[in-house]
Amino acid sequence: MWALLVLIGAASVSAHLQELSFDGQKVFRVLPQNDEQVEILNFLASIMEVDFWQPDSVTLVRPKMQVDFRVEADKSFEVEDLLKESGMEYQVLIDNLQAAMDAQFDSKARTASHSYEKYNNWDTIAAWTADIAARNPDLVSRSVIGETYEGRPMYLLKMGKSGPNKKAIFMDCGFHAREWISPAFCQWFVKEAVETYGKDSVMTKLLDKLDFYVLPVVNIDGYVYTWTNDRMWRKTRSKNAGSICIGTDPNRNMDAGWCTLGASKSPCAPTYCGSAPESEKETKALADFIREHLSTIKGYLTIHSYSQLLLFPYSYTYDLPANYEELNSIAKAASKELASLHNTKYTYGPGANTIYPAAGGSDDWVYDQGIKYAFTFELRDTGRHGFLLPESQIKPTCEETLLAVKYIANYVLEHLY
């Protein structure tokens, strides 16, 4: 008798031990509409192990109740088939429970905690991208578009309610390492999107009808370097053949009038254009992604600092783009929106005339690919703090910039091509 109990005990212990990894396990959210559909859930719970997260048990399930439950990895396909067949409304809340848990532990254990009103280091931002996607699966998904020179994954967040044939807007931050307010803005944008979806009518419309690709930091290696070694670093961290000097200016490295004006052929210069267009892994990854999604991307925004400018093509020539009048009036209106919040004055215009001629920029390259709404933002301030913008200004800067970005996104939505 005792031997039998011990055996059963041992068996259940080993069964539990197998459960310690949650790899591949899925969490479903379903909305049973009627008694029939409730019965399906009862049936499911009778033929396999179903861990109900809400409500606590299958016996509490009622029609019109939101039900969340976890199933084992090898059962998840069966479950999904069953739900599809039944016609019950469902979504996969967590696609891989182990991954979601790892992300959560990452952001607490290894790194400083994330704040939208502070400058976050790369590890914190990386963990945040996993976390924000795991917590908002119906609005955010994360992918990797490439690797930096030093081998770091380039995370991209795709934002928007899933739907067929959606067009998209691409926004990147952190081209230049020392411009810390830039990645802060991309994080802020993502936060606003997930927090105000369903509450703010403009944001809801934008996310319903468009997708936003947000690349929170392009030049990750450079950004890390500004945290560990040199706060004033600008370029990438790639080695240059035949020189002791490191790095290429990623915003002189794109294939747009490459290295003709406003860029340097010297590897030691902060505006070094690189050994060839897209010589940098980071710019190549960005360009590849945009080329692959050219038919869906209809607007492009790239965020820099400082100077309080809203620029559009061209910077590699003084020639004006074909839709100059249109771009100018968008910039004028977006600047007005921005100023409406804290009276922050922006100057706008084509790059070459407004800031300086500079070839190899991402906005020009994207524009020449056919994305006719391409803008570069230079955020606060105008030189008093420059790159060292105090953290107390993160919130007001991001809030005002968001108004301009929403204006531009909405314009693109209403003028799809």
**76 vs 307, beta carbon nearer other proteins:** 307
Half-sphere exposure (Cβ direction) of 116: Cα atoms closer than 13 Å = 16
- Residues in contact with other proteins by CB under 8 A are 118-119, 226-227, 231-232, 234, 249, 262, 269-271, 307, 356, 383-393
Phi-psi domain of 307 (left: phi exceeds 0; alpha: psi -120 through 50; beta: other): left
How far apart are the C-alpha atoms of 307 and 346, rounded to whole Å? 8
Residue 278 annotated among the catalytic residues of the structure: no
Task: Assign residue 165 a region (left: φ > 0; alpha: ψ between -120 and 50; beta: otherwise).
Answer: left
Strand partners, 69: 28, 52
Least distance from other proteins to the Cβ atom of residue 124, Å = 14
Question: Is the preceding omega at residue 306 within 30 degrees of 0, hence cis?
Answer: yes
Least separation, in Å, of the C-beta of 197 and other proteins? 30
Contact (Cβ atoms closer than 8 angstroms) between residue 240 and residue 253:
no
Report the nearest approach of other proteins to the CB of residue 109 (Å). 23
90 or 128: CB nearest other proteins: 128
- Please say which residue, 59 or 392, places its beta carbon nearer to other proteins: 392
Distance of closest approach, residue 384 Cβ to other proteins, in angstroms: 7
**Based on CB atoms, which residue is closest to other proteins, 173 or 309?**
309
Show the 3-state SS of 218-246.
CCHHHHHHHHHCCCCCCCCCCECCCCCCE
Nearer of residues 58 and 269 to other proteins, judged by Cβ: 269
Among 117, 378, 399, 414, the active-site one is 378
* DSSP letters spanning 96-158: -HHHHHHHHHHHHHTSPPP-TTSPPPHHHHHHHHHHHHHH-TTTEEEEEEEE-TTS-EEEEEE
Q: Give least dist CB 404 to other proteins, A.
A: 22
- Residue 245 pairs in a beta bridge with none
Task: Write out the catalytic residue numbers.
Answer: 378
